[in-house]
Amino acid sequence: MLEVDVSLSRGDFDLEATFAAPTPGVTALFGRSGSGKTTVINLIAGLFLPDRGRIALDGAVLHDTSRNYSLPPQRRRIGYVFQDPLLFPHFDVAGNLRYGQRRAQPRGTEAELADAVELLGLGALLRRRPHELSGGERQRVALGRALLSRPRLLLLDEPLASLDAARRGELLPWFEALRDRHAIPIVYVSHEFEEVVRLASHVVLLEQGRVAAEGDVARIAMVPELRAVLGPELAGSVVDGQVESTDPGTGLAQIRVGHSAITASGTGLRAGQAVRLQVLARDLVLATHKPTGLSIRNEIDGTIRAIVDDGPEAVLVEIDVGGPLLLARVTRPAASDLALAPGRRVWVLVKATSLRGHVHARR
Q: Is the pLDDT of residue 18 over 70?
A: yes
| String of DSSP letters for 296-323 | --EEEEEEEEEEEEETTTEEEEEEESSS
Instruction: Yes or no: say if 237 and 281 are a contact pair by the CB < 8 Å rule.
Output: yes
Per-residue pLDDT, averaged over 225-238, amounts to 91
Per-residue pLDDT, averaged over 40-50, amounts to 96
Sign of CA dihedral 69, 72, 78, 81: positive
Q: Greatest CA separation found in the chain?
A: 70
* pLDDT band per the 50, 70, 90 thresholds, residue 361: low
- What's the rounded Cα separation, in Å, for the pair 286 and 350? 9
Q: What is the pLDDT of residue 176?
A: 87
- What's the rounded Cα separation, in Å, for the pair 213 and 37? 14
**How does pLDDT run across 263-309, given as a tens digit for each residue?**
998 877 889 999 999 999 999 999 999 888 888 889 999 999 999 99
Domains of the chain: 2-234 (3.40.50.300), 237-359 (2.40.50.100)
In this structure, the number of other CB atoms found within 10 A of the CB of residue 110 comes to 8
Instruction: Yes or no: say if 125 and 131 are a contact pair by the CB < 8 Å rule.
Output: no
**How does pLDDT run across 301-350, given as a tens digit for each residue?**
999 999 999 989 999 999 999 989 999 999 999 999 999 999 999 999 99
The whole-model pTM stands at: 0.91
Per-residue pLDDT, averaged over 155-176, amounts to 86
- What's the rounded Cα separation, in Å, for the pair 61 and 56? 4
| Strand-pair category, 186-190 with 153-157 | parallel
Q: What is the pLDDT of residue 183?
A: 84
To the nearest whole number, what is the mean pLDDT of the chain?
Answer: 92
Q: What is the pLDDT of residue 5?
A: 98
Instruction: Yes or no: say if 191 and 207 are a contact pair by the CB < 8 Å rule.
Output: no
Q: What is the pLDDT of residue 31?
A: 94
CA atoms within a 13 Å half-sphere pointing along the CA-CB vector of 175: 31
- What's the rounded Cα separation, in Å, for the pair 350 and 353? 9
- What's the rounded Cα separation, in Å, for the pair 202 and 206? 13
Per-residue pLDDT, averaged over 246-263, amounts to 90
Provide φ and ψ at 15, rounded to 5°: -115, 130
